[in-house]
């Protein structure tokens, strides 16, 4: 047990100490080299290196048979270069710290150790998840369509709970066109884009449904040019989170049908669905298997959590593949100064992951696709 933990910690240190901010293509490429080296040492197989729009992704095919299980993770982080100086890799009093350790380099290390020697597994490690996976989305969906199950190595929810629901995300920009005029001499000749913007912000905000868990949040906004000019243009961004595809579609129809309130104003809406929801139905059977497996191994039985944040698991669930998320490290502080991993949980979580993958590869209990 001590040897396994020592290997996990050693591998994790190597990954954490190679900084990989998503926005820096060279840093992501360097990180891919390091991840490939660590993964190859554990898996005995070199990955395929896939560069899309300058962003580096890695794919391992394990074994000689058809792939049944997709293990999914990412090696990019939100931490800028130089973060290690203020937040170095440390292990003290059972707590491991360092930029990206929890989200989600510990999950990658767990996947390498859990999948070693198995047949019928694909491990996909992307390099742009923190940006919304603009280049890797099609790759993720392609792999998911041929898999029996997708297991996402994102960090756990509080207390080690698995993420059995993730809200879908839609992003919009609402653009308003008015007409400029002098604010003091003849404001009545203008069409005030700021005023129209206010009407639209209120209309969009009213689309939220607290009971359904749907949030519709106007965020950044801008309008006008000078303090003495009736604004001729303005815009605001909208962040939508929904638990179901039906709710996501309801809000989409409403936002794209917005109409102006002021005579002479024009409305244009850009954007749409960014990630489909990971609904509970997509993860229910897998979560039950994890519970049974944990009981059989004498390990803590992980609970479940519904979260507002999205991951690449939204994409795998969106194409109908049974998906379970949050199988990575137990800890907290993702994207924050107190990001950390609980060391005592690493070995058990890795053993649980391996047992689950072994069962899924064994063909013994088929899963039903959700679409």
Beta-carbon count within 10 A of 107 CB? 31
d(CA 95, CA 100): 14
Scanning the chain, the segments in alpha helix (DSSP H) are: 2-16, 25-43, 83-86, 106-115, 137-145, 193-205, 245-256, 280-297, 313-318, 346-361
Report which of 330, 331, 327 is spatially closest to residue 283, judged by C-alpha positions.
327
CB count, 10 Å around CB of 296? 10
Q: How do beta strands 149-152 and 90-92 pair?
A: unpaired
Strand order in the sheet with 121-126: 48-52, 55-62, 121-126, 69-74, 149-152, 323-324
Cα dihedral 283, 289, 291, 295 in deg (nearest 10): -170
Residue 185: other Cβ atoms inside 10 A: 9
Q: Token match 């597994």: residue?
A: 121
Cβ(31)–Cβ(20) below 8 Å: yes
C-alpha closest to that of 128 among 40, 81, 61, 58: 58
β partners of residue 121? 62, 69
Q: Roughly what angle, to the nearest 10 degrees, separates helices 25-43 and 106-115?
A: 30
Q: What is the Cα–Cα distance from 242 to 210, expressed in whole angstroms?
A: 10
Counted residue by residue, the chain has a size of: 371
Q: In whole angstroms, what is the distance from residue 284 CA to residue 286 CA? A: 6
CA atoms of 297 and 351, how far apart (whole Å): 9
Active site residues: 76, 129
């Amino acid at each position: 047990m001590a040897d396994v933990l020592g290997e996990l910690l050693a591998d994790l240190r190597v990954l954490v100490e190679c900084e990989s901010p998503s926005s820096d293509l060279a840093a992501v490429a360097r990180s891919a080299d390091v991840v490939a080296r660590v993964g190859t040492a554990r898996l005995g197989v070199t990955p395929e290196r896939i560069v899309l729009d300058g962003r580096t992704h890695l794919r391992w095919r394990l074994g000689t048979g058809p792939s049944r299980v997709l293990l999914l993770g990412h090696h990019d982080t939100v931490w800028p270069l130089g973060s290690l100086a203020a937040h170095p890799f440390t292990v003290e009093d059972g707590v491991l710290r360092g930029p990206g350790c929890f989200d989600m380099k510990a999950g990658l290390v767990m996947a390498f150790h859990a999948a070693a020697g198995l047949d019928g597994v694909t491990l996909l490690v992307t390099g742009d998840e923190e940006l919304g996976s603009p280049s890797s989305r099609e790759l993720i969906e392609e792999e998911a369509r041929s898999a029996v199950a997708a297991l996402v190595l994102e960090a756990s929810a509080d207390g080690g709970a698995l993420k059995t629901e993730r809200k879908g995300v839609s992003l919009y920009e609402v653009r308003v066109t008015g007409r400029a005029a002098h604010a003091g001499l003849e404001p009545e000749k203008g069409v005030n884009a700021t005023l129209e913007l206010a009407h639209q912000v209120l209309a969009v905000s009213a689309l939220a449904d607290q009971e359904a868990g749907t949030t519709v949040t106007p965020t950044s906004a801008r309008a006008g040019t000078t303090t003495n000019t009736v604004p001729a243009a303005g815009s605001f961004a909208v962040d939508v989170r929904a638990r179901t595809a039906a709710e996501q579609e309801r809000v989409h129809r409403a936002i794209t049908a917005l109409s102006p309130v002021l005579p002479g104003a024009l409305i244009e809406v850009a954007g749409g669905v960014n990630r489909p929801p990971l609904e509970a139905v997509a993860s229910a059977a897998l979560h039950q298997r994890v519970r049974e497996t944990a009981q059989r191994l004498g390990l803590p039985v992980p609970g479940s959590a519904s979260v507002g944040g999205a991951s690449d698991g939204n994409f795998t669930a969106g194409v109908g593949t049974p998906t379970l998320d949050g199988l990575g490290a137990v800890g907290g502080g993702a994207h924050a100064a107190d990001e950390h991993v609980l060391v005592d949980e690493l070995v058990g979580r890795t053993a649980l992951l391996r047992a689950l993958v072994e069962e899924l590869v064994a063909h013994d209990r088929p899963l039903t696709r959700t679409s």
